[in-house]
Amino acid sequence: MLKGTAVMNLTEYGRAVHAEMAALLCCARVGVSPAGGALYCTTFPCHNCTKHIVAAGLRQVFYVEPYPKSLAEELHGDAVVVTTGEASEPTSGKVVFRPSTGAGPRRFMDLFSMTVSTGRPMDCKGAVLSK
Ligand SMILES: [Zn+2]
């Protein structure tokens, strides 16, 4: 009945499990409490994962890339605070989402292939070659 409708694109109804939820489920499987811990992820969590992060009792989330479509701060601002990364920012006991440095998924092709994301070739030393 719902096949072919946009409803199945909603994260709440699909079977896909985001990495954040998979990490929390992994904690349950191996018997490690995530309470008070930190989560490191490549992309800023979506609002659905955020509610699970809050419920699991995590204290911090470090992410590399923003995710503009996430409504985490808008929907869960009572429980999370998104900082600019400065340790001195007030957090009011909320789960702190901090930007981190690292290589996001989109940079992998630039770092580990012989072409840059624009398709231009590069040599083995990383120099971009002209076409
Ligand atoms: Zn998610």
The helices-and-strands tally (H runs, E runs) of the chain is: 4, 4
Q: How far, in Å, from the CA of 52 to the mean position of ligand 1?
A: 9
Mean pLDDT estimate for the chain? 86
Å from CA of 83 to ligand 1 middle? 19
| Residue 66 CA, ligand 1 centroid: distance in Å | 12
Phi-psi region of 94 (alpha: psi -120 to 50; beta: other; left: phi over 0): beta
pLDDT digits (tens, 9 = 90+) for 83-93: 987 766 667 88
CA 83/CA 31 separation, integer angstroms: 30
What average pLDDT does the segment 60-89 reach? 90
Asked, for residue 106, whether it belongs to a domain, the answer is no
- In a domain, residue 60? The reply is yes
Answer yes or no: is 122 within a domain.
no
Q: How many domains, the chain? A: 1
In a domain, 21, yes or no: yes
Residue 18 CA to ligand 1 centre (angstroms): 5
> How many whole angstroms separate alpha carbon 62 and alpha carbon 40?
5
Phi and psi (nearest 5°) for 116? Answer: -90, 170
129 versus 67: the higher-pLDDT residue is 67
pTM, entire model:
0.74
Looking up residue 47, the CATH number of its domain turns out to be 3.40.140.10
User: Which DSSP symbol is given to 105?
Assistant: H
CB 52 within 8 A of CB 24: yes
Residue 131 confidence (pLDDT): 62
Give the pLDDT confidence of 10-47 residue by residue, as tens digits: 777 778 899 999 999 999 999 999 999 999 999 999 99
Contacts of 54 by beta carbon, 8 Å cutoff, 6+ apart: 76, 79, 80, 95
Establish if 111 belongs to a structural domain.
no
- Domain extent for 48: 6-100
The 38-43 sheet, strands edge to edge: 38-43, 60-65, 95-99, 80-82
Instruction: Give a yes or no: residue 131 inside a domain.
Output: no
